[in-house]
Amino acid sequence: MHVLTPVTDREIWARDLAELAKSTLDEHWAVSAVPTERRALLLERAEAAALAPGDGLGEPIADGLALLGTAYELAALGQLEAALHPTPSSGRDLAQAVVAIGAMRAFRCAAALRPPLDDGESTVKWALRLGALALVARQTDAFVRWWDVRTGVSDLVRQTGQSLDAEPWEPYARGTLWMAWLGLLGAPPSILPHGEIGRIADGEFPVLTATRNRLATFRERRAEHDMPAEGPLVNTAALRARMTEFAIRHLADATELLTVAVMRRTLPDVSAEFKLHLSAARSALAGDHGQDLLLAWLQAAGVTLAGGVTVQLELPGF
């Protein structure tokens, strides 16, 4: 017979789990390389600046915050496979807690920094990574507030999205999928082109509806696109084109699968199929550390969003 655990016992268990997860995170080689006093100072500055209005922090503290944020990402992602394991266990509970706390700390570090505004795709990917970290860390409200306080981001992302239709296939496909993911991760309506919200029916979620429409247009253009020819690879450029197309195809399938699941809300758990597509895309881009890091967080965020991570841990003292 199943015995319910008293609330006080659950609270103690959650508190102990959080402490163990913090220790595991701090003992990771990348995190422990930053002295304890330095980590505390940087986290304090990040907490104060992450949602403060303005451009975000620059030098002299930016390098330290970026380094610490990356260290937390590496430590958290080292537990990702265990965290996404389908079988419940104490090891999975700990891994999920490490991933969540690492994502939260990495989000605060990155949100405090001045985002790149000299290139539209770089800005989109910066916001995308923040959104994935926020969702995994259950910090989506903070992600929405970040858009409101960080100068210039919404305008540049909106302009980038509007210009995608004129781009060649590869940048168009990549940018369209990034924009679709922003919609899935809870980006605000301010990223949509002026006037688009007015064309969306009452009762619909503007950003999700725009994401669905964007993906429908993407499918039409994808059907007209000439795929790289099969056969022997004659040079490095041909290999790159084939691997890029492979990654785009699987990222698109994962994005569409997740979009349908989110909009219908009644589908069975799609996390297993979603993970297969994201893993395939990551394998194709394994030589690009920045892309692999981003896709790893999208995988974690997507499984969380799809319902694959069923235990919603409330960990005190983050």
Give the least confident one: 165-179, 193-207, 215-229.
193-207
The pLDDT of residue 318: 33
Amino acid at 301: A
- pTM check: above 0.85: yes
Q: Establish whether the linkage from the previous residue to 232 is cis, with ω within 30° of 0.
A: no
CA distance 261 to 15: 33
- Quick: pLDDT tens for 187-211: 888 887 765 555 554 445 678 888 8
- Number of Cβ atoms within 10 Å of the Cβ of 180: 26
Residues 6+ apart with CB under 8 A from 43: 68, 105, 108, 109
- Quick: pLDDT tens for 21-71: 999 999 999 999 999 999 999 999 999 999 999 999 998 999 999 999 999
Query: Where residue 309 falls among pLDDT bands split at 50, 70, 90?
Result: very low
281-286: long-range contacts, CB 8 A cutoff, minimum separation 24: 281/246, 281/247, 281/248, 281/250, 281/251, 281/254, 284/243, 284/244, 284/246, 284/247, 284/250, 285/243, 285/247
The pLDDT of residue 200: 54
Instruction: Name the β-bridge partners of 57.
Output: 113
- Quick: pLDDT tens for 238-290: 777 788 888 899 999 999 888 888 877 755 567 788 888 888 888 887 777 78
Domain ranges of the chain: 7-306
The pLDDT of residue 181: 93
pLDDT cut 70: percent of the chain above it: 84
Q: Of 206, 215, 207, whose CA–CA distance to 251 is shortest?
A: 215
